[in-house]
């Protein structure tokens, strides 16, 4: 075996092939051999493939773990290899720049400086990256994602604020809570019980008010939740390997299952919940993984029919972003950076300004700002109706608009 590198899903990263008497490298599953980007013929095949899809009308590409294409296994380098940006610029020249495409690269190791290279406005690499600094905050430092820790809320604000400031005019942010590898955000940082609707809307408002391109993962717009199954019902290779490895290391079964319920990628991979019919309307056959049992209460049909639903909140946020240029182009300013309950910020474009105020937790709070001298228009609130403007209900979120200036409190 060339060296002792481990695969992300457990076990060695090298696999012996008797027929050719050689090892191949796989950073992930043994069924996913890594490509050798050092080979110019291989790179050309990739560019030809991309262009073939563009000719078919595809308008964008998501590039999985793109920061690992320039790996050097002999040196145990997997992320951000020395030729990474060279390869990306070549890919852009040979394919992306030949059409009007949206390109986003998954880059777990990206910081703001790398993101500026990836998403430079000159278009030499990609449109933007998925970065995960905010997503990794609630795990114990130096440990794995399965080692749970409370969310450091002030750090979450600092991370978002830094990415907004650093990329302004020098790159482009992606805005997301969920994807196919992550647990459902309403179960993770919201309240998927009593305040599921309110907290799901609050998380949507918090994200959509920022600069960047929002990504909505299937079911997020419905407030779909994590699904706590027994181990026999999970399908994800990472989850199954983790279960065996931790039991062998002496972890308690209840602790292992608690981590799986909170973090398994299968939380994001349960069938889409369309309606109240069999298998949530996803299929009349047997789906590869069981439908979340709450599909009769949480499904697209009921959300669409309810004008006050999470779904309609997302629709309104999308409409507002299209109507008000300040959502797209406005400068970002974090407010109340030391407040341990409220996430608030402004977006400013000329004389136009947004004020976004989100109560991140399930308790009633005093509204943190003085009544402005100039009236502000409430563009969106997640409680609706006439309310006491000086009180924030649990998980309440508001977006105000004014052509004047909203002063930050001292």
Averaged confidence pLDDT in the chain: 95
**pLDDT digit of tens for each residue in the chain (410 aa)?**
899 999 988 899 999 999 999 999 999 999 999 999 999 999 999 999 999 999 999 999 999 999 999 999 999 999 999 999 999 999 999 999 999 999 999 999 999 999 999 999 998 999 999 999 999 999 999 899 999 999 999 999 999 999 999 999 999 999 999 999 999 999 999 999 999 999 999 999 999 999 999 999 999 999 999 999 999 999 999 999 999 999 999 999 999 999 999 999 999 999 999 999 999 999 999 999 999 999 999 999 999 999 999 999 999 999 999 999 999 999 999 999 999 999 999 999 999 999 999 999 999 999 999 877 677 899 999 998 667 789 999 999 999 999 865 454 43
Which CATH number among 3.20.20.80, 3.40.50.1110, 3.90.1150.10, 3.20.20.30 corresponds to the domain 14-305? Answer: 3.20.20.80
Catalytic residues: 64, 106
Hey, where are the domains in the chain?
A: 14-305
Q: In this structure, are residues 43 and 49 in contact, taking their beta carbons and an 8 Å threshold?
A: no
> Cα Rg for the chain, rounded, in angstroms?
23
Which residue stretches of 296-406 are H helix?
300-305, 310-323, 325-329
pLDDT digits (tens, 9 = 90+) for 302-316: 999 999 999 999 999
Q: What is the pLDDT of residue 407?
A: 52
- Cα angle at 224 between 66 and 364, to 5 degrees? 110
- Report residue 65 CA to chain centroid gap: 14
Q: How far apart, in whole angstroms, are the C-alpha atoms of residue 286 and residue 307? A: 32
Encode 262-290: b = buried (16+ Cβ within 10 Å), e = exposed: bbbbbbbbbbbbbeeeebbbbeeeeeebb
Burial (CB < 10 A; 0-12, 13-18, 19+), residue 59, is: exposed
Q: Copy the structure tokens of residue 33.
A: 């051999």
Residue 45 CB contacts under 8 Å (≥ 6 apart), including other chains: none
**What long-range pairs does 404-410 form, CB within 8 A, spacing at least 24?**
404/351, 404/353, 404/372, 404/374, 405/348, 405/351, 405/353, 406/346, 406/353, 406/355, 406/369, 406/372, 406/376, 407/372, 408/333, 408/335, 408/346, 409/335, 409/336, 409/368, 409/369, 409/370
pLDDT digits (tens, 9 = 90+) for 272-322: 999 999 999 999 999 999 999 999 999 999 999 999 999 999 999 999 999
Q: In this structure, are residues 359 and 393 in contact, taking their beta carbons and an 8 Å threshold?
A: yes
C-alpha distance across the termini of the chain, in Å: 62
3-class secondary-structure state, position 63:
strand
Q: Copy the structure tokens of residue 51.
A: 């262009």
Q: How far apart, in whole angstroms, are the C-alpha atoms of residue 285 and residue 270? A: 14
Q: Copy the structure tokens of residue 194.
A: 């009593």
């Amino acid at each position: 075996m060339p060296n002792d590198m481990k695969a992300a899903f457990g076990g060695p990263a090298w696999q012996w092939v008797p027929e050719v008497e050689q090892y191949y490298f796989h950073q992930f599953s043994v069924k996913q051999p890594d490509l050798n980007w050092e080979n110019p013929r291989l790179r050309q095949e990739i560019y030809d493939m991309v262009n073939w899809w563009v000719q078919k009308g595809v308008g964008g590409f998501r590039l999985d773990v793109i920061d690992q294409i320039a790996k050097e296994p002999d040196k145990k380098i997997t992320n951000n290899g020395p030729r990474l940006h060279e390869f990306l610029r070549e890919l852009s020249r040979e394919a992306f720049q030949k059409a009007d495409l949206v390109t986003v690269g998954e880059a777990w190791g990206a910081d703001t400086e790398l993101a500026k290279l990836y998403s430079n406005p000159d278009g030499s690499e990609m449109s933007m990256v998925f970065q995960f600094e905010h997503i990794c905050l609630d795990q114990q430092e130096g440990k794995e994602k399965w080692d749970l820790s409370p969310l450091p809320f002030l750090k979450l604000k600092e991370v978002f604020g830094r990415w907004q400031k650093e990329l302004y005019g020098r790159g482009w942010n992606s805005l997301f809570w969920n994807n196919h590898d992550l647990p459902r955000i309403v179960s993770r940082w919201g309240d998927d019980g009593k305040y599921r609707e309110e907290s799901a809307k609050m998380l949507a408002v918090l994200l959509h008010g920022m600069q960047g391109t929002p990504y909505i993962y299937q079911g997020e717009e419905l407030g779909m939740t994590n699904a706590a199954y027994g181990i026999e019902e999970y399908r994800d290779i990472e989850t199954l390997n983790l279960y065996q490895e931790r039991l062998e290391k002496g972890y308690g079964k209840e602790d292992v299952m608690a981590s799986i319920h909170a973090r398994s990628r299968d939380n994001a991979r349960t069938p889409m919940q369309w309606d109240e019919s069999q298998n949530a309307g996803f299929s009349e056959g047997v789906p590869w993984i069981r439908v979340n049992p709450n599909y009769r209460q949480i499904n697209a049909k009921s959300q669409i029919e309810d004008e006050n639903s999470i779904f309609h909140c997302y629709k309104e946020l999308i409409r507002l972003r299209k109507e008000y240029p300040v959502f797209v182009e406005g400068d970002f300013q974090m407010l109340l950076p030391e407040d341990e309950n409220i996430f608030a910020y402004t977006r400013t474009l000329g004389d136009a300004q947004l004020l976004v105020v989100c109560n991140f937790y399930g308790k009633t709070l005093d509204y943190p700002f003085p009544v402005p001298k100039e009236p502000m228009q409430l563009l969106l609130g997640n409680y609706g109706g006439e309310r006491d403007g000086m009180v924030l209900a649990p998980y309440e979120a508001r977006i105000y608009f004014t052509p004047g200036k909203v002063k930050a409190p001292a």
